[in-house]
Amino acid sequence: MRRKPRRSISILEDPEDPVAVSSTVKAAPPAARVAGWTRALLASVPRGAGRSVSVLLCGDARMRALNRKWRGKDVATDVLSFPSGSANGFLGDVVIDMAYASRQAGERGHGAAREVQVLLAHGLLHLLGYDHETDDGEMFRLQARAVTKAFGPGPDGVPGEAAEPEENS
């Protein structure tokens, strides 16, 4: 029996909008909400204003395949970033595994929406060239500020917080 391929649902309310959000899973926040979060974060991070980005919300199998292909790691992860390398203002793609994010939110004691916000910030900072593995904490400091500025106090995904295990992306 042939299965229908999953279709990606995309929202581009305004062709001039700098954010495109697609989802291949049902258990995801509405694309318009994720686009709003992304725009808020772009305004909150250094060199983010006026830039554009695409966001994909997917499941474990898709994320595992992407992680295997691009990083050589045969496991799902919470967020991946694919910088465009373009000088035209397009930063690149952020991919968030919604199943992983939901599990991680439960482990950390907050909602899936906040986890997606944290992962968006993390992914955007990677697109802007930050690397928490080599920058002596600069990326995580920026992440904490951006998440708090855009969404208010609460979990920010920075290791060392109570109930915040080390990030793996």
Assess whether pLDDT exceeds 70 at residue 7: no
On whether residue 160 sits in a domain, the answer given is no
Total domains present in the chain: 1
On whether residue 162 sits in a domain, the answer given is no
3-class DSSP string for the chain: CCCCCCCCEEECCCCCCCEEEEECCCCCCCHHHHHHHHHHHHHHCCCCCCCEEEEEEECHHHHHHHHHHHHCCCCCCCEEEEECCCCCCEEEEEEEEHHHHHHHHHHHCCCHHHHHHHHHHHHHHHHCCCCCCCCCCHHHHHHHHHHHHHHCCCCCCCCCCCCCCCCCC
User: pTM (2 decimals)?
Assistant: 0.83
On whether residue 143 sits in a domain, the answer given is yes
On whether residue 165 sits in a domain, the answer given is no
The boundaries of the domain holding residue 68 are 9-151
Question: Residue 120 maps to which CATH number?
Answer: 3.40.390.30
pLDDT in tens, 65-122: 999 999 999 999 999 999 998 878 899 999 999 999 999 999 988 999 999 999 999 9
